[in-house]
Amino acid sequence: MPSYQAPRGMNDTLPEDAALWRHIRDTAERVARLFDYRQITTPIVEDAGVFLRTVGDESDIVQKEMYVFEDRGGDRLALRPEGTAAVCRAYIEHGMGSWPQPVRLFYFGPFFRYDRPQAGRYRQLWQFGAESIGSESPAADAELIELQHTLYQELGLHDVVLRVNSIGNLESRGRYIDALREYFRPLVPGLSRDSQRRFETNLLRVLDSKEEQDRAAVEGAPSILDFLDDEDAAHFESVKSALDAVGIAYEVDPYIVRGLDYYSRTVWEFEPPEARGQSTIGAGGRYDGLIELLGGQPTPGVGFATGIERIALNLKTRGIEPPEPEVIDVVTVPLGEAGAAACLRVARDLRAAGLTVRAGTPGRSMKAALRAADASGAAYAVIIGDREAADGVATLKPLRGDAEQRTVAVTEVAEAIRA
């Protein structure tokens, strides 16, 4: 028989990690609702064109990472590699342009990229993201940054570093690319293979390189901030002023460009203090031309995504646990056939009363069953044998503290435990 394993880069989330993931998800959703963002869920599979038309032919997603396939009907589909384009497709399809603007949305779910698996980077990855569609105001950019910052603060990641930049509009980027080409041209032989290719196809992506051999060349490159027009520069200043107003610290990093072609103006990244530019925990930016690329009316937008695996990794590194560990209130101890049936009925009533119940396994000895009940961490054991079942009673045994064991009617077990 073959021994099957999860596909490379796609991991099981085991019960010991579930509480932490649930804590991250619940905190993210609570913070999003505090900012009046509403949840949206898009399909895991999208028309491949949703991403091919928007993220850029030379992005890593298109070049190396997308899972693309043809279904039985001949449609070319893709496992979604990112969330923003899918949300914007839904915005157009469902006529959200007629809603009060901006439309504030958040999402949580799995995404897929054929990437080289490593810590915090997987082929099936989970993300939380938020999008504000319909406003070109710098206040929208600052609001999304504040939402993301609040999430990390609420989770206990107080030391993450915010780095911000503006990549301007198409015209200012064109002037900047001309200057970059002149700067990098004599350096091309010493760049990594990917950067040599990007020099010819998408020069801005060279700035996004994480290869060690590219670092010195990138750090000496011209700054795009010197090429912004007055309107873009004013927009960026307004974003920074809004961040200053709410006390969010940031570093201006002119070499942040983000990996997707649809970004414009404000872009940002949050990273752990020890990352040194190599691994972000979450990032975002403005995408004023994306809706139009998907066939909609020109509509501004801004958003971010943050990796759940990366958040969990950073929480574990810092020893941060979920605030309330999962607890078991009651373990039933069934003894005999009639006792087992009575325990099932009592367990049902206890769960209906909101108590967590672990059903004991029939056929064990009293000693073994109580030993297992104590090891579970439960507060009480409810013991019912055939005699107790015939009398309509149960033995309620406290497993913690100094309270005495007592016998109560089976109809009163939940009330006795709550009391």
Domain presence at residue 173: no
Domain presence at residue 390: yes
State the average pLDDT over residues 293-313: 95
Q: Quick one: pLDDT at residue 196?
A: 85
What's the rounded Cα separation, in Å, for the pair 353 and 347?
A: 10
Q: Which of these three, 283, 317, 351, is where a domain ends?
A: 317
210 pLDDT band, cuts 50/70/90, is confident
Flag the least confident range among 102-106, 178-182, 247-251, 280-284.
178-182
Q: Could you tell me the CATH number of the domain that includes residue 54?
A: 3.30.930.10
**Three-state helix/strand/coil letters over the chain:** CCCCCCCCCCCCCCHHHHHHHHHHHHHHHHHHHHCCCEECCCCCEEECHHHHCCCCCCCHHHHHHCCEEECCCCCEEEECCCCHHHHHHHHHHCCHHHCCCCEEEEEEEEEECCCCCECCECCEEEEEEEEEECCCCHHHHHHHHHHHHHHHHHHCCCCCEEEEEECCCHHHHHHHHHHHHHHHHHHHHHCCHHHHHHHHHCHHHHHHCCCHHHHHHHHCCCCHHHCCCHHHHHHHHHHHHHHHHCCCCCEECCCCCCCCCCCEEEEEEEECCCCCCCCCCEEEEECCCHHHHCCCCCCCEEEEEEEHHHHHHHHHHCCCCCCCCCCCCEEEEECCHHHHHHHHHHHHHHHHCCCCEECCCCCCCHHHHHHHHHHCCCCEEEEECHHHHHHCEEEEEECCCCCCCEEEEHHHHHHHHHC
In percent, the amount of the chain with pLDDT more than 70 equals: 95
Q: What are phi and psi of 99, to 5 degrees?
A: -80, 165
List of residues 6+ apart from 100 with CB closer than 8 A: none
Q: Are residues 336 and 381 in the same domain?
A: yes
Domain presence at residue 265: yes
Flag the least confident range among 66-75, 201-210, 286-295, 361-370.
201-210
Q: Quick one: pLDDT at residue 308?
A: 96
Q: Quick one: pLDDT at residue 59?
A: 54
Q: Are residues 297 and 340 in the same domain?
A: no
Domain presence at residue 204: no
Q: Quick one: pLDDT at residue 261?
A: 67
Flag the least confident range among 71-85, 97-111, 263-277, 375-389.
263-277
Q: Quick one: pLDDT at residue 56?
A: 56
Q: Quick one: pLDDT at residue 61?
A: 56
398 pLDDT band, cuts 50/70/90, is very high
State the average pLDDT over residues 288-294: 91
Domain presence at residue 190: no
Q: Are residues 116 and 70 in the same domain?
A: yes
Q: Domain total for the chain? A: 2
Q: Are residues 49 and 113 in the same domain?
A: yes
Domain that holds residue 238: 15-168+228-317
Q: Are residues 380 and 309 in the same domain?
A: no
Domain presence at residue 216: no
In percent, the amount of the chain with pLDDT more than 90 equals: 66
Could you tell me the maximum CA-CA distance found in the chain, to the nearest angstrom?
Answer: 92
pLDDT at 321 over 90: no
Domain presence at residue 115: yes
Q: Are residues 265 and 119 in the same domain?
A: yes
Q: Which of these three, 288, 317, 346, is where a domain ends?
A: 317
Domain presence at residue 260: yes
Q: Are residues 280 and 357 in the same domain?
A: no
Q: Are residues 377 and 259 in the same domain?
A: no
Q: What is the signed CA dihedral for 214, 81, 157, 241, rounded to 10 degrees?
A: 80
Q: Which residue has the tokens 């872009």?
A: 267
Q: Which amino acid is at 127?
A: Q
Q: Could you tell me the CATH number of the domain that includes residue 344?
A: 3.40.50.800
pLDDT in tens, 45-75: 999 999 887 665 555 556 668 899 999 999 9
Q: Quick one: pLDDT at residue 136?
A: 96
Q: Are residues 313 and 356 in the same domain?
A: no
Q: Quick one: pLDDT at residue 64?
A: 65
Q: Are residues 161 and 257 in the same domain?
A: yes
Q: Quick one: pLDDT at residue 79?
A: 95
pLDDT in tens, 82-139: 999 999 999 999 999 999 999 999 999 999 998 788 777 789 999 999 999 999 999 9
What's the rounded Cα separation, in Å, for the pair 81 and 62?
A: 9
Q: Are residues 46 and 75 in the same domain?
A: yes
Q: Are residues 411 and 275 in the same domain?
A: no
Q: Quick one: pLDDT at residue 73?
A: 94
How far is CA 26 from each of CA 19, 308, 368, rounded to the nearest angstrom? Answer: 10, 12, 37
Q: Which of these three, 278, 296, 317, is where a domain ends?
A: 317
List of residues 6+ apart from 378 with CB closer than 8 A: 327, 328, 329, 330, 331, 358, 399
What's the rounded Cα separation, in Å, for the pair 211 and 200?
A: 18
Q: pTM for the full model?
A: 0.87
